[in-house]
């Protein structure tokens, strides 16, 4: 019997892979800084002036960058700044949640151009997938009306939904979306739309939005605490979104914690919009959920204040643990929750627990507020195809690219 011993090794690259990486580096520098000259790009990226010139010329031919009016600084020759062309690429983001689905279209710099939402029918994916596909098609049609060449410049479809993925769950567990998670969603959407499709959990999508156009823009190490129907964390490590072996990194809502009565309970059963709705006897599927919560904050509803006190205690411990494990530059509180509730939570979290993050030389606050918008996850879902196509990533250098994110 001939046993072939598996060989462990990193994938190599070639000149084509290195060239693709350098192209992504230039695009990211322009995205982060707005506009830069070729000399600025060479200094910032440590690439040669000739390499930068070749890449800029290529990007300009591809309709991804455009030159601006030359500017004179000092006695030297005037320099020509370049910026990204927003119309150079488009992407669609899709959020699938327990009761609603949202679809948006963004351009290369993350500007939201189209957005639609629809209620999901009862019956799981067998009934809801048509609603989802119709919503994506509606978004594409509307985008084509305002962007003539959108179809030929559409780089993909990003999908976000609650995790965790690939675990054994009880079908009627209200905290899970077992039917959707076990449904061949990526394949169905790829066939139904003809687009490249990638899936991530909602916390990772929220972190992607923060990284592209939010509080984590330009930050290499950040933890985004996402408070929505459940609780999760998007991990931005070394400038990249870390997803883990199975796409479940940051599922902090599943952390078991001891209750006073001695039993163990997942963190999100006490710290999430679902737990707030349960405490206040509100159906989380109601259309005016945000309005009801906002009104409860304005009236300082005693039940809501009690929930805030318990959630703040849980989140303080979560923040201290996250700082200790990951050593981020900052932690960002974000989520599908009303801004008034998010700000009340921020106030209740002060003071934070002592931590290794308490440094005199800090550039960013230990905790800051990010997106508090029901559309933030869809924005992050749309940002994923843009990032997958244009951001510097280790997988982009490899001779064989990684497949769908999970």
Instruction: List pLDDT tens digits, range 235-260.
Output: 999 988 999 988 899 999 999 988 77
Say whether pLDDT at 215 is over 90: yes
What ranges do the domains of the chain cover?
Answer: 15-84, 89-207+378-397, 218-372
Q: What is the pLDDT of residues 310-332, one digit of tens each?
A: 999 999 999 999 999 999 999 99
Q: Contact 81/71 with Cβ under 8 angstroms?
A: yes
Measuring CA to CA, how many Å separate 213 from each of 111, 261, 349, 376, 383?
9, 43, 25, 10, 9
CA distance 388 to 379: 14
Question: In CATH, what is the architecture of 218-372?
Answer: 2-Layer Sandwich (3.30)
Give pLDDT, residue 393. Answer: 65
Q: For residues 271-285, give the mean pLDDT.
A: 93
Give pLDDT, residue 76. Answer: 63
Say whether pLDDT at 405 is over 50: no
175 pLDDT band (50/70/90 cuts)?
low
Tell which CATH classification among 1.10.10.10, 1.20.140.10, 3.40.50.620, 2.60.120.260 matches the domain 15-84: 1.10.10.10
Say whether pLDDT at 6 is over 50: yes
Q: What is the CATH number that goes with domain 89-207+378-397?
A: 3.30.420.40
Residue of higher predicted confidence among 20 and 404: 20
CA 120 from centroid of its chain's CA atoms: 22
Same CATH topology for 15-84 and 218-372: the answer is no
CA distance 300 to 297: 5
User: Helices H, strands E: what count in the chain?
Assistant: 13, 15
Percent of the chain surpassing pLDDT 90? 66
């Amino acid at each position: 019997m001939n046993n072939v011993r598996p060989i462990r090794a990193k994938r190599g690259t070639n000149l084509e892979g290195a060239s693709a990486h350098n192209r992504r580096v230039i695009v990211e520098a322009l995205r982060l800084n707005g506009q830069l000259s070729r000399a600025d790009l060479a200094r910032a990226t440590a690439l040669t002036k000739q390499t930068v010139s070749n890449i800029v010329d290529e990007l300009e031919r591809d309709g991804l960058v455009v030159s601006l009016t030359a500017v004179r600084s000092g006695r030297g020759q005037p320099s020509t700044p370049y910026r990204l062309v927003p119309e150079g690429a488009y992407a669609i983001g899709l959020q699938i949640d327990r009761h609603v689905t949202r679809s948006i279209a963004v351009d290369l710099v993350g500007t939201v151009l189209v957005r639609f939402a629809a209620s999901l029918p009862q019956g799981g994916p067998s009934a809801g997938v048509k609603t989802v596909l119709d919503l994506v098609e509606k978004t594409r049609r509307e985008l084509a009306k305002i962007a003539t060449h959108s179809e030929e410049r559409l780089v993909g479809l990003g999908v976000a939904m609650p995790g965790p993925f690939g675990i054994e769950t009880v079908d009627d567990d209200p905290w899970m979306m077992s039917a959707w998670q076990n449904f061949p969603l990526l394949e169905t959407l790829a066939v139904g739309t003809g687009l490249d499709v990638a899936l991530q959990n909602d916390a990772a999508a929220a972190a992607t939005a923060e990284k592209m156009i939010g509080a984590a823009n330009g930050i290499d190490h950040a933890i985004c605490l996402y408070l929505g129907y459940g609780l999760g964390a998007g991990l931005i490590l070394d400038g990249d979104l870390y997803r883990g072996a199975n796409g479940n990194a940051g599922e902090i809502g599943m952390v078991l914690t001891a209750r006073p009565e001695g039993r163990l309970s997942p963190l999100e059963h006490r710290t999430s919009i679902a737990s707030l709705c349960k405490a206040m006897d509100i159906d989380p599927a109601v259309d005016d959920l945000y309005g009801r919560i906002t009104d409860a904050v304005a009236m300082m509803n005693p039940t809501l204040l009690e929930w805030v006190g318990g959630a703040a205690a849980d989140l303080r411990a979560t923040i201290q643990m996250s700082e200790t494990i990951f050593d981020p530059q900052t932690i960002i509180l974000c989520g599908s929750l009303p801004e008034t509730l998010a700000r009340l939570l921020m106030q209740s979290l002060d003071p934070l627990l002592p931590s290794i993050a308490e440094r005199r030389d800090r550039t960013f606050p230990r905790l800051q507020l990010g997106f508090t918008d029901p559309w933030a996850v869809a924005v992050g879902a749309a940002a994923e195809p843009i990032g997958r196509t244009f951001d510097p990533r280790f997988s982009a250098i490899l001779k064989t690219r990684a497949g769908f994110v999970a």
